[in-house]
Amino acid sequence: MNRQINCAVALIKINQKYLFSKRHKNPYKNFYEFPGGKIEDNETPSDAIQRECYEELDIRLTSFNYKGRITHNYPEISVIIHIFEIISFTGIIKSNENQDIELFLPELISGPFLDSTHRILKYISLPRYALITPKAYSQNRQLALHSTSDEFILRIRSLDLNEEEYINHIDYYINLYGYRCNFMIDLKYTKLAYAYDIQGIHYSSNDLKLLETRLDHSRSIIYSTSCHNTEEVMLANKYNFDFIYISPVQKDKFSNKKINWDGFKFLSDKAYMPTFALGGLNINDLDESLKSSGYGISGISNFWN
């Protein structure tokens, strides 16, 4: 297992652009990263981000929000990243450590950035609902979300559809919900992601077990996978997935027995990324997921009217 360290990073947004520092030492010399650094033994993440921003940028933080954490596996080290959104500060930003400082629009970030950069940006924009399409669509079946203000991820399942049938499903859901959600398609139809500007790719648990290399985070594709046990969660951690579905929580699914909320919490606590509870849930179970170390909820039949 890789050596593991705790870090805190600062997301400072100025005129819709994020501030980055250019590394001047190895590993990853000349790569851009969010300001921040290692959390010392006697520090909380909040203490560390305030110290790092003063040491690196010569600013004193006056208001900031803790957004959560992810863990990213690099070949040589595993980094627990505590993410802070900086609201306000005093002082004028300057580099105290001879690092170049630049601002980048999030949608234009590419090239020499640390691998974790896209995962951090995807994390802070991730909705709390990750819904899955039913077997058949109908004009009479509508999502049961509370209001049109709710944003969500919608995974369009391929099931046993051929490519033409699957394209019809994609067209239908994009026309219906394209203004309010991120779409994910199944791995076997990845090529359609480029044609349709799809935001995410989903790996089944079988796809996960066949994976041999870390995912490509050099572009802003969201990667998800399905997990039912500790072994699968550990694999998802190894390959740096952006989020995972943990199931079945409240209802048996085929040979997988329901794990209840205690089992969901057990697996969520082992995950390096956000977890979505799935299996026998309804739209009102979000609070239960949050209390059980989850990030959000997902569903199929109970999430459609």
Residue in the block written with tokens 């997990």: 227
- For the stretch 69-82, pLDDT in tens is 999 999 889 999 99
* 24 and 98 Cβ atoms separated by less than 8 Å: yes
Percent of the chain, pLDDT > 70?
A: 94
The third-level CATH classification (topology) of the domain covering 130-303 is: TIM Barrel (3.20.20)
The answer to whether 69 touches 272, Cβ cutoff 8 Å, is no
CA 71 to chain centre: 11
Confidence of residue 148 (pLDDT cuts 50, 70, 90): very low
Superfamily the domain 3-124 falls into: Nucleoside Triphosphate Pyrophosphohydrolase (3.90.79.10)
The predicted pLDDT at position 15 comes to: 93
Q: Give pLDDT, residue 139.
A: 57
Segment 104-129 shows an average pLDDT of 88
DSSP reduced 3-state for 264 = helix
The pLDDT assigned to 262 comes to 98
| Domain 3-124 and domain 130-303 have a common topology | no
Which pLDDT does position 302 carry in this prediction?
82
Would residue 63 be called left, alpha or beta, if left means φ above 0 and alpha means ψ between -120 and 50 degrees? beta
The predicted structure's pLDDT at residue 281? 93
pLDDT over 70 at 181, yes or no: yes
Measured CA to CA, the distance from residue 266 to residue 277 in angstroms comes to 12
**Can you state the angle between helices 260-270 and 230-238, rounded to 10 degrees?**
30
Q: Where are the domains of the chain?
A: 3-124, 130-303
Q: pLDDT of 118-144, one tens digit each?
A: 999 999 999 999 999 887 766 556 666
Whether the CB-CB separation of 297 and 281 falls below 8 Å is answered with yes
What is the predicted pLDDT for the residue at 13?
96
Q: Which tens digits make up the pLDDT trace of 224-270?
A: 999 999 999 999 999 999 999 999 999 988 888 999 999 999 999 99
